[in-house]
Structure 1
């Protein structure tokens, strides 16, 4: 952590000015990247019928995608904190493009798993490096900048039910071939971003020569570790609950409300689309009212609504999913910014840890929830999952924004 204090005093060209052009392009690439990942859970009903997969196997597919991404993100972030690789961004999306191609042509369960590993690797490279680009372009509006970036990803995820209803239901598994074009478009945009990123890193490298390193206070280092552990539990609660809704609520709606696959996607779309709205407003709200306050509110306010959701009718369920999506996801970008400010010299590591952790927890949650559904049934599992947001009370123990800022002033 010595270099965390060192890099805190580092002045970059974007420290005072927000480079919106770069932010909107990288957010657009985030949308394209995450829409590729959205193809996988969107294909679950298709794969279940065409290959006769169990809920446990579907959970393992989600696990393969998200766990590869989550494990590799902090690894990539740690490496690029020391040796930034701007052109890793287009290279990562090329990996995802090959993964989507394999998924569209996969003849069996194991080929699907291999394909999603390639997609997971692409995502593992994109997220920490994309977050570094956002940090460089943010200026003094870090919450807003991270929200712009993350809302691109959440919008891409929200496309999953639309993808299912408009492309995968009529075209089947091979409909995923269309998304190789999306991957190719992302590679082109990311090549442009990589050039800008490279120029920024060259300027920073010249400035680093004049910075003197300091050792952090032992008590501060301990407090930082405790705060990171608390963030882990908070991300766990949010990710497992989001996994329950995004991966399995469609099946719950089909069984409970007796609707078609296409109509069940409306519920998922509402949750994910409103989640994108929540992600966008969360950053500016955190800039104004504090990171810790928004993290706390996002889970505590959702708790009574999540408990009520499994017991309401089909129409009111849509209303609740919209409200839950907005409130729950206000903390998505905020937890990333909060973690970056805990250790400001480790932008790639902290971005990779928090975003990767969200993917990883979602992966474990998908497998666990799939097993629970096979063992206990959909209704019981959804009721159990509804209690997860209660873990948000742990946010009360996080250090305040003012205290975190005081550590580095």
Structure 2
């Protein structure tokens, strides 16, 4: 499932990586280029809760390979698109595939593993981080091949992902933890805690999206040059991968809510270090800040599923998609503040937002270890697991 996740999320990063090629080859302006990115991001994030609702009503394991194929086909069809509307439509198809994949896949990870599931979810999230980070390499490598063949090479990860994500019968044997015991009733919903958790995820998203968008420019403004900006961005992404895995381990020791609180408390000084420490230490602080912001990432998904145990798909769609999209809307505000004052001034609120997330997380309850999925849903989804 983690490898399959990488094969899907590579297409989230591929859209931004394709923009320079489209601007150069098709003479798109900045507004047209931003429209392409917007089409992908809105569909891949905002529509996710709708697919979550669908998977809650009826388990659809076949949606996982189908959505993987759609994500890859959409990006490959960008090369065949003759005009701007066709290009937007192709990118939208890819975004729709990404949106359909995440709630169904995250839900299946949880119901298959059973229990708290934070370690499994951290590996699943790590796959997505790796895929996103590899997207620029895929685009540059594929489009170095001239002609239509280069564009169709972009579909290769999707072909691999379809194979990894095809549902296959589970071998006979002991039932997976959390899927046996069909008599176990799911925990009651805690909508207030889920709403508070959603606010925490939005705040976290504003901080990370703000850093990832502007850290390269900020380092260059401080005299680091383009290479230094790229190194800072790499440190940020490397820290996010490490934090994703670390979150599952820390949650096993401290519990999920405690880990989330401590991570946000640690993120505040790390973000401040990015803005105020000398340039060589900025790389260290960027990596530490990303790690602290990504420690809660997979834990927040499983917490949301436990707060809405009868609607795990909806919870996954909100925590993985909608709240991330809403958090990204802050980037234009940061840019406007940077134009009006300075980039450092515009980024200063990011040092306080982790403390706001910490304050919100203090009132989050710790669900009982591993809320069980609804019995009928567990049995339906336990019959098949994707090959990995």
Do both proteins adopt the same fold according to a TM-score greater than 0.5, normalized to the shorter chain? yes
Residue 335 (1) aligns with residue 310 (2) = no
Counterparts in 2 of 1:365 and 1:29: CA distance versus 1, 3 Å: farther
Change (3 A) 1:186 1:169: closer
- Aligned counterpart in structure 2 of residue 346 of structure 1, from 308, 311, 326: 311
What is the TM-score when the length of structure 2 is the normalising length?
0.80
Task: Please give the alpha-carbon distance, in whole angstroms, between the structure 2 residues aligned to 1:173 and 1:271.
Answer: 35
Confirm or deny that 1:117 pairs with 2:92.
yes
Shift of 1:213: 7.4
Counting helix residues as a fraction of each chain, which structure ranks higher? 1
Q: Is the 8 A contact 1:290 1:401 kept in 2?
A: no
8 Å contact 1:230–1:394 — kept in the other structure? yes
Q: Which position in structure 2 is the counterpart of 1:390?
A: 355
Secondary structure of residue in 2 paired with 1:397:
coil
1:100 is the counterpart of 2:72: no
Contact in 1 for aligned 2:116/2:370 (Cα 8 Å): no
Following superposition, the deviation at residue 330 of structure 1 comes to 0.4
1:290/1:95 Cα in 2 relative to 1: closer, same or farther (>3 Å)? Answer: same
Residues 42, 163 of structure 1: 8 Å contact kept: no
Given that residues 71 and 360 in structure 1 are in contact (C-alpha distance below 8 angstroms), is that contact kept between their aligned partners in structure 2?
A: yes
Matches of 2:62 and 2:289, distance apart in 1: 37
Which of the numbers 361, 378, 395 marks the counterpart of 2:326? 361
Task: Please report the TM-score for the alignment, with normalisation by the length of structure 1.
Answer: 0.76
> Does the CA contact (< 8 Å) of 2:4 and 2:161 recur in 1?
yes
* 1:105 to partner: Cα distance: 5.7
Query: Residues 234-260 of structure 1: CA distance to partner in whole angstroms, max 9, x if unpaired?
Result: 111111122122333333334443533
Superposed displacement of residue 303, structure 1: 0.8
Paired residues for 1:138-217 under 5 Å: 138-140=113-115, 142-160=117-135, 162=137, 167=141, 178-191=153-166, 194-196=167-169
Q: Assess if the C-alpha contact under 8 Å between 2:72 and 2:155 holds in 1.
A: yes
Q: Is the Cα contact below 8 Å between 1:336 and 1:355 reproduced in 2?
A: yes
Q: Rate the CA distance shift 1:380–1:160 in 2: closer, same or farther, 3 A.
A: farther
**Partner Cα distance (2:352, 2:275) in 1:** 11
**CA 1:59–1:299: 2 relative to 1, 3 Å:** farther
Shift of 1:151: 0.8
CA distance in 1, matches of 2:147, 2:349: 32
Structure 1 residues not aligned, in runs of 5+: 1-25
RMSD over aligned Cα, in angstroms?
Answer: 3.8
1:270: how far off? Answer: 1.9
Match of 1:88 in 2: 63
Q: Which residue of 2 aligns with 1:231?
A: 197
Matches within 5 A, 1:207-286: 224-257=190-223, 259-260=225-226, 264-286=229-251
Counterparts of 1:364-379 in structure 2, within 5 Å, are 364-370=329-335, 372=337, 378-379=343-344
The answer to whether the Cα contact below 8 Å between 2:122 and 2:244 also exists between their aligned partners in 1 is: yes
Rounded Cα–Cα distance in structure 1 between residues aligned with 2:19 and 2:271:
24
Cα pair 1:144 1:283 within 8 Å, conserved: yes
Check conservation: 2:103, 2:314, Cα contact below 8 A.
yes
Could you tell me how far 1:368 is from its partner in structure 2? 4.3
* Structure 2 partner of 1:11: none
Contact 1:47 1:173 in 2 (8 A): no
Rounded to whole Å, the distance in 1 between the matches of 2:211 and 2:145 is 25
CA contact (8 A) 1:44 1:58 kept: yes
Aligned residues: 367
The whole-number CA distance in structure 1 between the counterparts of 2:363 and 2:202 is 16
Contact preservation (8 Å) 1:232, 1:357: no
Distance verdict in 2 for CA 1:379–1:196, change over 3 Å: farther
Q: 1:368 and 1:34, CA in 2 relative to 1: closer, same or farther beyond 3 A?
A: farther
SS of aligned partner of 1:195: strand
CA offsets per residue over residues 325-383 of structure 1, 9 Å max, x none?
11110000000111111122222111112111343224423454455556656444333
Counterparts in 2 of 1:171 and 1:371: CA distance versus 1, 3 Å: farther
Per-residue CA shift, 1:51-75, capped at 9, x if unaligned? Answer: 5744x76665444323212222111
Map of 1:304 onto structure 2: 269
**What is the CA-CA distance between 1:169 and the residue it aligns to?**
9.8
| Partner residue, 2:252 | 287
Task: Report the CA distance between 1:104 and its aligned residue.
Answer: 4.6
**C-alpha contact (below 8 Å) 1:161/1:265 kept by paired residues:** no
CA contact (8 A) 2:194 2:308 kept: no
* Contact 1:43/1:168, CA 8 A, preserved across alignment: no
SS at structure 1 position matched to 2:168: helix
